[in-house]
Chains A and B, each alone.
Chain A
């Protein structure tokens, strides 16, 4: 079992470009999350999905959109990338009070 997979691993964008970060899980958990990690700030929640068909904003949702395509997949979209969105993005899934993290996507916006 792969657990939580994320694609791509690395991405470089120019300001204004759009892209979608993909996340998939094979753990059959209802909840899924997107975080960004920036030096000295820990991880901050962008969006989450408590179950298939629902999504909610987290702490830092501006500039992002999400889609919970089905129980397995939860994608994060940047419509018009900005340098401030340079970060490492982590997807996680959860059951009860435990979350399981993917390996991350390192995004650079020039």
Chain B
């Protein structure tokens, strides 16, 4: 079975500072990996995904994530936080041959002016 661990349930950053959200997965083979964002009272929106192509994946709103097989990690970064980045972020994993997602517990990001 695959699982996802997100380190840190809450992250607070200053506007303009680096955003770093950590995600580690457990899987016997490299899976597909995803980051989703959820704004207050809304559904989830895909930020980016890794599907065994380039290990550095760029997504919407200047977010990017790097797949590191040796560390079983898929951390999400954004160079400069904006107030509109305040949301909850979920890392998710699915087996390559199965499209069911397993989600991490989520990380809430607050951005300080």
Residues in A lying within 8 Å of B, measured CB to CB: 4, 31, 33, 40-45, 48, 58-59, 90, 92, 94, 96-104
Q: Tell whether B61 is near chain A: CB-to-CB under 8 Å.
A: no
Q: Tell whether B63 is near chain A: CB-to-CB under 8 Å.
A: no
The reply to whether B99 and A43 contact each other, CB–CB distance below 8 Å, is no
The reply to whether A90 and B106 contact each other, CB–CB distance below 8 Å, is no
What CA separation (Å) do A69 and B104 show in the bound complex?
A: 30
Q: Tell whether B7 is near chain A: CB-to-CB under 8 Å.
A: no
The reply to whether B103 and A97 contact each other, CB–CB distance below 8 Å, is no
What CA separation (Å) do A89 and B85 show in the bound complex?
A: 24
Question: Nearest Cβ in chain A — how far from B36, in angstroms?
Answer: 8
Since A33-B100, A92-B44, A101-B45 are in contact, a sample of 4 more A-B pairs with Cβ atoms closer than 8 Å, ordered by chain A residue number, is A44-B103, A90-B43, A99-B46, A104-B41
Instruction: Please judge, given known A-B contacts A58-B100, A98-B46, A101-B44, whether A42 and B51 are in contact too, CB under 8 Å.
Output: no
> Cβ of B90: which chain A residues have Cβ within 8 Å of it?
42-43
Chain B: interface size category: 20 to 34
> Cβ of A96: which chain B residues have Cβ within 8 Å of it?
99
Question: Nearest Cβ in chain A — how far from B93, in angstroms?
Answer: 11
Question: Nearest Cβ in chain A — how far from B66, in angstroms?
Answer: 19
The reply to whether A40 and B99 contact each other, CB–CB distance below 8 Å, is no
What CA separation (Å) do A43 and B92 show in the bound complex?
A: 9
> Cβ of B51: which chain A residues have Cβ within 8 Å of it?
97
> Cβ of A41: which chain B residues have Cβ within 8 Å of it?
105
What CA separation (Å) do A92 and B36 show in the bound complex?
A: 13
The reply to whether B106 and A42 contact each other, CB–CB distance below 8 Å, is yes
The reply to whether A42 and B104 contact each other, CB–CB distance below 8 Å, is yes
Interface residues in B28-45 (C-beta closer than 8 Å to A):
32, 36, 41-45
